[in-house]
A and B are shown apart, each in its own frame.
Chain A
Amino acid sequence: MNENIMYALEIMGKGMFSIFAVIILLTFIVYLMAKITEIRSNKKGGQEEA
């Protein structure tokens, strides 16, 4: 059973790390997309004003 507890700890460590890795990457990509959209809409707005 001790061996299985060590495996359970491994699952916990690797599991939480992987979930956070995926979620942080997605957060970063969504921020990036929001930034790109903002820059593009600002450019459009600037061109229309000019």
Chain B
Amino acid sequence: MEFLYSNLLEITPQQLVMYAVGILLIYLAIAKGYEPALLLPMGFGAILVNLPNSGVLNQPLEGLGEEATGIIEWLYNVGIDASEAMPILLFIGIGAMIDFGPLLSNPKMFLFGAAAQFGIFIAIMFAVILGFSLNDAASIGMIGAADGPTSILVSKILHSNYIGPIAVAAYSYMALVPIVQPFAIKLVTTKKERLIRMDYNPKSVSKTTRILFPIIVTFVAGLVAPTSVALVGFLMFGNLIRECGVLNALSDSAQNVLANLITLLLGITIAFSMKADQFVTIDTLKIMGLGLFAFVFDTIGGVVFAKVLNLFMKKDKKINPMVGAAGISAFPMSARVVQKMGLKEDPTNHLLMHAISANVSGQIASVVAGGVIVEIVNKILMTLA
């Protein structure tokens, strides 16, 4: 009868910590509504992979002289390790969900998407100072892209040892945008700046422009950073399906069925990298701290860039610097935060459409950043080899 309790005796203190982490993620997903589609599967997956001799991982069956295949390990090997298929396929759904109209009618908002990637590079710098290797530091920096699938993909391509903590940090901080961003925005703006009003006079965007846009973005990003083609290409493929007007059923499937299915499996599959022996380390705490740092500096980068632009703008054309903070990829949370803060300062100042434009620009800039970083780090590692 020993087999009934032998597994119980095998539970390690680290595995107990992982059960607590799993339950915390499930609590945050259900009770607080923080990114529930990702945090709940990840939390439950964290419990599954940390049960002793768990059947979701490959286990040797010594009596039979064989190895039983574990479903989560198989999903990880096929969907992430072998092909990075899951995060890439998710981009088709994300692309189909994005309406670039507000950005196309106000193209200067593009710039904030670029400026708000600054936190990625600051986090890379601090990760290196804390002793992480270059590929791990670059992967950790990608938490600042505020884009879960991109963070996972870049960590995988760069063979980072910390894919689990990076995914948890990326999704946790995306959920915590309403707490992190107001703090960072207030740190670098005055009340007078937060009161700046912006007129919204959208120009109509032709259907041809909407259709050509995803094709042009793919060419431009692909030629500058070829490694970004998988990311940008699939994002823009999804958007082309949406905008072409002749594939409405596919667009609908991509936005709902495909995105939901991949999200469901991605969360529980990423849990494979949350095994106690890899996750319960001091490095995980450092990564969580660096992730927070990246989000704060993303926000500061966007806001400060808006303030610099204002130096060259006419008085009636000035930009509310808070809009710059919406240049991160966390859509639509970041735009909502800016709108809410604007209304708090002045109940008649609506910044939502400007913030949405910056926010969708952030979605393009974050995937471009992912491709660019893989390209640069790969070249540096080649010279070191």
Interface residues of A (CB under 8 A from B): 1, 4-5, 7-12, 14-16, 18-27, 29-31, 33-34, 37
Please, how many angstroms separate the alpha-carbon atoms of A24 and B368 in the complex? 13
Q: Which residues of B contact A34 (CB under 8 A)?
A: 104, 107, 203, 205, 209
Contact B124 A22 (CB under 8 A): no
If the complex has contacts A22-B221, A34-B203, A37-B206, are A12 and B124 also in contact, measured as CB distance less than 8 A? yes
Q: Which residues of B contact A23 (CB under 8 A)?
A: 110-111, 113-114, 361, 364-365, 368
Contact A4 B134 (CB under 8 A): yes
Contact B380 A26 (CB under 8 A): no
Contact B220 A26 (CB under 8 A): yes
Please, how many angstroms separate the alpha-carbon atoms of A17 and B157 in the complex? 22
Q: Which residues of A contact B380 (CB under 8 A)?
A: 7, 10-11
Label chain A's interface by main secondary structure.
Answer: helix
Contact B111 A27 (CB under 8 A): yes
Which listed residue (B120, B121, B131, B224) contacts A22, Cβ 8 A? B224
Label chain B's interface by main secondary structure.
Answer: helix
If the complex has contacts A1-B131, A26-B110, are A8 and B124 also in contact, measured as CB distance less than 8 A? yes
Q: Which residues of A contact B128 (CB under 8 A)?
A: 1, 4-5, 7-8
Q: Which residues of A contact B224 (CB under 8 A)?
A: 18, 21-22
Nearest A residue (CB) for B138: A11
Q: Which residues of B contact A11 (CB under 8 A)?
A: 121, 124, 138, 373, 376-377, 380
Q: Does B159 contact A (CB under 8 A)?
A: no
Contact B104 A16 (CB under 8 A): no
Contact A15 B137 (CB under 8 A): no
User: Closest approach, in angstroms, between the C-beta of B246 and any C-beta of chain A?
Assistant: 21
Q: Which residues of B contact A12 (CB under 8 A)?
A: 121-122, 124-125
Contact A15 B376 (CB under 8 A): yes
If the complex has contacts A4-B128, A7-B128, are A30 and B213 also in contact, measured as CB distance less than 8 A? yes
Contact A16 B107 (CB under 8 A): no
Please, how many angstroms separate the alpha-carbon atoms of A21 and B220 in the complex? 10
Nearest A residue (CB) for B217: A26
Contact B121 A15 (CB under 8 A): yes
Contact B104 A30 (CB under 8 A): yes
Contact B209 A33 (CB under 8 A): yes
Q: Does B108 contact A (CB under 8 A)?
A: yes
- Can you pick out 28 interface pairs between chain A and chain B where the beta carbons lie within 8 Å of each other? A1-B131, A4-B133, A7-B380, A8-B121, A8-B137, A11-B124, A11-B376, A12-B122, A14-B376, A15-B120, A18-B225, A18-B368, A18-B376, A19-B368, A22-B114, A22-B224, A22-B225, A24-B114, A26-B110, A26-B216, A26-B364, A27-B107, A29-B216, A29-B220, A30-B104, A30-B209, A34-B205, A37-B208
Please, how many angstroms separate the alpha-carbon atoms of A15 and B224 in the complex? 11
Which listed residue (A7, A18, A19, A31) contacts B134, Cβ 8 A? A7
Interface residues of B in 187-226 (CB under 8 A from A): 203, 205-206, 208-209, 212-213, 216-217, 220-221, 224-225
Please, how many angstroms separate the alpha-carbon atoms of A9 and B126 in the complex? 11
Q: Which residues of B contact A20 (CB under 8 A)?
A: 111, 114
Please, how many angstroms separate the alpha-carbon atoms of A31 and B205 in the complex? 11
Please, how many angstroms separate the alpha-carbon atoms of A49 and B254 in the complex? 44
Nearest B residue (CB) for A38: B203
